[in-house]
Chain A
Amino acid sequence: MDENVKKFKIIRNAVIVICVIIILSSIRLQIIEGAKYNRLSENNRIRQKSVAAPRGKIFDRYGVEIANTRPGFYVSAIQSVIDESTLAELMRILDIDVAIIQERFKLQKNPFLPVKIAHDISYAQLSVLEESWDRMKGIEVGVEPLRNYPYDDLFAHVVGYVGEITQEEMIERQEYAIDDYLGRMGLEEYYEESLKGVDGIEYVEVDAWGKEVGTISEKRPIPAMYGNDLHTTLDCSLTQAVALYLEEYEKAACVCIDPRTGDVLVLYSKPGFDPNRFVHGIDEQEWQLLNIAPDAPMYNRATMSCYPCGSTFKAFVALAALDASMITEHKTFKPCQGYYRLGNRIFRCWKKHWRLDLTHAIIHSCDCYFYQLGRLVGIDTLHAKIREVGFGRLTTIDIPNEKSGLLPDRSWYERRYGKYWTEGHILNFSIGQGDILVTPLQLACAFTLFANQGRIPTPHCIQQDENTFHDTHFSQEAIALVAKGLQGVVSSGTGMLARVDGIAVCGKTGTAQNPHGDDHSLFVGYAPADDPEILVCVIVENAGHGGSVAAPIAGKIMRLFFQSQESRKHAKAN
């Protein structure tokens, strides 16, 4: 069978060719590309799991925890594995919207990796979830450290809050992972780097459905590194007291600092919000509500709200005049008759003061006196001198989004009012009304120069060994003269309600005119007069006169401060 032999050879050769192809392609797969496929198979089964590092704690100056972490259960889902019935069940148990889950999936570029879809689920939810565990696909539950604020809204503005990182923020911050939290506002934002810690890495073996089946022993896990603790200069009990004293007012701010060091003891703004709400991802509606609320609870009034500083400004006008040697303390002007006439315009004083010298003009806060003093000194000298106290400039406190306020000068007035700006503006400027704007923090810092012989410390919320100062160039005599007036304000003038028994208090009241409503009540003061330990700045919006609202509150704060100082000293002695 010749023909059979021929066909046999053809088919045999075909078989050999096929054999060679199979062998060659298996050599290619297993030897040439073997390492690559081996890596792929390892990637298949080994998942790098990020272990969230607990954020550093935040303490007040006496070691009270004002922000810490607590464990919370989270639920994560794998997009490529999760099915319709699991999704439906999840929505039922966790009571979340499918749109939120889809949003989270969109964030996670790799559909084979899990992404957290719910934080801080309750024990009840967890137990229901566990019951239907076997039926659910592509779901994981784990424990993560969650930020906790034991004092709820008390430190909301100064400490800030944390929230899950957004897509836009992730583009800017490459080192952050999808489920990471990011400090927002306050110290949480400013000290983010230090507080965050370093996430650890854990290697787990997973099956084809992404379910963890065990840990990997070949690869060592990298433990998470705790974030650094933050030891602040804040005084928790004093802040609690401030909140209590301001309870009856809707909108207010209070700054207490140690004038010797710039330590911020209290930085309080009202109304506030509960930063704990942001931990599990605040829902859209609530976020909108917080942001568009007319009383702006997210706004830190102590560092971001700008007010005219009212009569508190007179202390600086007097200081500028004395420093420029344009007057002495005995300088008198035309007696105050309750108003001052400039051309055909009338500028009012709040009372008929008759003839006063500089000290008494400060004590009784006579507007007429300062109208004339302002005219005498002139806008340029006033601006040049007062600029030094820090108005119109950031205090560089370690809290983000501080506002710099406004200290107008001649060119600003010309730009603003053109050629029509008149000396009337200077008169308003001289009593701290009109266009001048300061934040409560700026005002507090500016007043430290009276308490501290001209040195203004940089305000800060973190305990530090070395403090930085801004040395002003006012003469010591001028400072002492104004300080004498400030002491008079509290002992016998407009700020008498801020008196503290046995301790000399210096201060100045102010009433910031508010074109939108009732005047804001202001008081800045420090005590004791000879060796100040605390400086208090209180502003209560729409509350009226500084002397009647802000001053008594400041007095209460200082009284409490000295009482607790005393009891601490006793405790130490025992």
Chain B
Amino acid sequence: MQKRIDLRIIIAVAVLSLIGLLMIFSTAPLTVFYRQVIWLLCSVLVAIVFSRISPRIWCNLAPYIYAGLIVLLVLLLVVRPGAYPSRWFRFGSVFLQPSEFAKFATVLFLANILAVKKRMQSYRDMFAPLAAVIVPALLVFIEPDLGAAQIFFPIAILMLYWSGTRAAKLFVFFSPIVSIAASFNIYIWVAYFAGLAVFLYFQKQMVDFIYGMVSNFLAGLITPVVWSSLKTYQQQRIISFFSPWVDPQGMSWQIIQSKIAIGSGRLIGKGFLSGTQKKLAFLPERHTDFIFSCLGEEFGLLGVLLTTIVFIYLLYRLLVLAKETKNRFASIFVSGVFAWIGYQMLLNIGMTMGLLPITGVPLPFISYGGSSLLATFMALGICFSISRTRFNY
């Protein structure tokens, strides 16, 4: 059964892209704006082409695309073009960021792997998908780009959940990470560990119980030992790496200025092109990471509400698409795209409002950046293709 592309998704994406162009026009030099227009046109073209290709073909192509991206990421680390950190390939005046395309490829490949199994039952079933995530995440982490590297995991967790893994199992599996975080305070750790034991006992799953207890105990035991063997400067480096927002001069200044920008916009904003925080350079990263702050300053609460609601509407439509799609690969792929866009939006907006730490994640469709835009549109192109064929098994 053929159906037409979901127009509502297209409208939402178009609105967000236009808001993005408007804000880039306001915050960046004209050349940057033109560049973004060209990127957007190319991205639309690519999305149209991708939407013409059947999901079945994408499913078959997934391993090759994934392999290609891994090669690119390794190449980036080997060649090390430009200065540290090396995150881009440069072709003349065009910069390409492989980590953005790696997100696309990983979502595609994960959907491919997860579609094979009807249901994720054992831990063994989780190893392959996890390996598929850890490899690109690690390569991006080495670049280094922690902000981009950590995005792979929430995407994978949501895709695992969507593909049928029980939430409790997912939690138990990833619980050692919580144990590591909790081990810095002995009381919190003991409370956490006891709570976990009770939880696992009532799950009545022997494997889960043993895995959960052992892995959490080891994680909680080893972390303090390793931590105390580190030199002070190493500890500080790790602290500042994982929580850059503790650095008071640099990062908190950005957050304060971002909150001032959004807050001073009030109901209707200071008007297009007249944000003083933006104009006088109090805001850092105006056309990339903190573009949402400029939007809040120039268009006020109305601008923030419009953008947020369009975003949420887009996410909702993607979620509906994932639900309605009969093809298992296609459904899981759409859930991955949903997680990707939703998580980045949440991180970026949360950061500009001071609710979440600074991670340097771009706001999809709105922040300046060709690679990010193109990768998102590639994924959306496939979503459109899926949307056409959503009732086919």
Q: Which residues of A contact B (CB under 8 A)?
A: 1, 3-5, 7-8, 11-12, 15-16, 18-19, 21-23, 25-27, 29-31, 33-38, 40-42, 44-45, 205-209, 213
Further 10 A-B residue pairs, CB within 8 A, beyond A22-B350, A41-B276:
A15-B342, A19-B308, A29-B259, A34-B267, A37-B260, A41-B282, A44-B257, A44-B280, A207-B281, A207-B282
Judge if B382 is at the interface, Cβ distance under 8 Å: no
Q: Do A26 and B296 touch (CB < 8 A)?
A: yes
Secondary structure class of chain B's binding surface, majority of residues: helix
Q: Do B282 and A22 touch (CB < 8 A)?
A: no
Contact of A33 with B316 at beta-carbon distance under 8 Å, contacts A41-B276, A45-B276, A205-B280 already known: no
Judge if B49 is at the interface, Cβ distance under 8 Å: no
- In the complex, chain A residues whose CB is within 8 Å of the CB of B296: 26, 29-30
Q: Do B319 and A12 touch (CB < 8 A)?
A: yes
| Top 4 A-B pairs, shortest CB-CB distance | A37-B263, A41-B264, A34-B266, A208-B281
Judge if B111 is at the interface, Cβ distance under 8 Å: no
Q: Do A5 and B280 touch (CB < 8 A)?
A: no
CB B287 to nearest CB in A, in angstroms, measures 15
Bound CA–CA A4/B332 (angstroms): 11
Contacting A27 at CB < 8 Å: which of B282, B301, B322, B355?
B301
Contact of A26 with B308 at beta-carbon distance under 8 Å, contacts A3-B164, A40-B260 already known: yes
Contact of A30 with B346 at beta-carbon distance under 8 Å, contacts A5-B323, A38-B266, A206-B280 already known: no
Bound CA–CA A42/B260 (angstroms): 10
Closest to B283 in A: A208
Q: Do B280 and A29 touch (CB < 8 A)?
A: no
CB B155 to nearest CB in A, in angstroms, measures 13
Bound CA–CA A25/B262 (angstroms): 11
- In the complex, chain B residues whose CB is within 8 Å of the CB of A209: 281
Q: Do A41 and B301 touch (CB < 8 A)?
A: no
**30 A-B pairs with C-beta separation under 8 A:** A7-B161, A7-B162, A8-B320, A15-B319, A15-B342, A18-B346, A21-B355, A22-B353, A23-B305, A25-B355, A26-B262, A26-B296, A26-B304, A29-B353, A30-B301, A31-B266, A33-B263, A34-B266, A34-B267, A37-B263, A38-B263, A40-B260, A41-B261, A41-B264, A41-B277, A41-B297, A45-B277, A207-B282, A208-B257, A209-B281
- In the complex, chain A residues whose CB is within 8 Å of the CB of B353: 22, 25-26, 29
Judge if B315 is at the interface, Cβ distance under 8 Å: yes
Q: Mark B301-322, 1 if CB is under 8 A from A, else 0.
A: 1001100110010011001101
Contact of A4 with B316 at beta-carbon distance under 8 Å, contacts A31-B266, A38-B264 already known: no
Q: Do B280 and A213 touch (CB < 8 A)?
A: yes
- In the complex, chain A residues whose CB is within 8 Å of the CB of B346: 18, 22
- In the complex, chain A residues whose CB is within 8 Å of the CB of B312: 15-16, 18-19
Bound CA–CA A373/B271 (angstroms): 97
Q: Do A22 and B164 touch (CB < 8 A)?
A: no
CB A41 to nearest CB in B, in angstroms, measures 4
Closest to A26 in B: B304
Q: Do A34 and B263 touch (CB < 8 A)?
A: yes
Q: Do B280 and A208 touch (CB < 8 A)?
A: yes
- In the complex, chain A residues whose CB is within 8 Å of the CB of B262: 26, 29-30, 37
Bound CA–CA A314/B259 (angstroms): 83
- In the complex, chain B residues whose CB is within 8 Å of the CB of A23: 304-305, 308
Q: Do B264 and A34 touch (CB < 8 A)?
A: yes
CB B162 to nearest CB in A, in angstroms, measures 6
Q: Do A44 and B301 touch (CB < 8 A)?
A: no
- In the complex, chain B residues whose CB is within 8 Å of the CB of A207: 280-282
Q: Do A208 and B319 touch (CB < 8 A)?
A: no
- In the complex, chain A residues whose CB is within 8 Å of the CB of B259: 29, 37
B residues 207-249 near A (Cβ < 8 Å) are: none
Bound CA–CA A11/B321 (angstroms): 13
Contact of A30 with B304 at beta-carbon distance under 8 Å, contacts A12-B319, A25-B355 already known: yes
Judge if B265 is at the interface, Cβ distance under 8 Å: yes
Judge if B291 is at the interface, Cβ distance under 8 Å: no
CB A427 to nearest CB in B, in angstroms, measures 78
Contacting A37 at CB < 8 Å: which of B264, B267, B280?
B264
- In the complex, chain B residues whose CB is within 8 Å of the CB of A1: 323
Q: Do A40 and B301 touch (CB < 8 A)?
A: no
CB A411 to nearest CB in B, in angstroms, measures 68
Judge if B20 is at the interface, Cβ distance under 8 Å: no
Bound CA–CA A166/B265 (angstroms): 42
Judge if B300 is at the interface, Cβ distance under 8 Å: yes
Bound CA–CA A11/B318 (angstroms): 12
Closest to A44 in B: B282
Judge if B349 is at the interface, Cβ distance under 8 Å: yes
- In the complex, chain B residues whose CB is within 8 Å of the CB of A21: 355
Q: Most B CB atoms within 10 A — which of A5, A7, A25, A213?
A: A7
- In the complex, chain A residues whose CB is within 8 Å of the CB of B309: 19
- In the complex, chain B residues whose CB is within 8 Å of the CB of A19: 308-309, 312
- In the complex, chain A residues whose CB is within 8 Å of the CB of B276: 41-42, 44-45
- In the complex, chain B residues whose CB is within 8 Å of the CB of A22: 308, 346, 349-350, 353
- In the complex, chain B residues whose CB is within 8 Å of the CB of A208: 257, 280-282
Q: Most B CB atoms within 10 A — which of A4, A11, A19, A27?
A: A11
Bound CA–CA A50/B144 (angstroms): 48
Q: Mark B279-294, 1 if CB is under 8 A from A, else 0.
A: 0111000000000000
- In the complex, chain B residues whose CB is within 8 Å of the CB of A34: 263-267
CB B215 to nearest CB in A, in angstroms, measures 26
Bound CA–CA A347/B349 (angstroms): 101
- In the complex, chain A residues whose CB is within 8 Å of the CB of B158: 11
Bound CA–CA A44/B257 (angstroms): 9
Q: Most A CB atoms within 10 A — which of B280, B296, B315, B331?
A: B280
CB A13 to nearest CB in B, in angstroms, measures 11
Bound CA–CA A22/B346 (angstroms): 8
Bound CA–CA A108/B84 (angstroms): 38
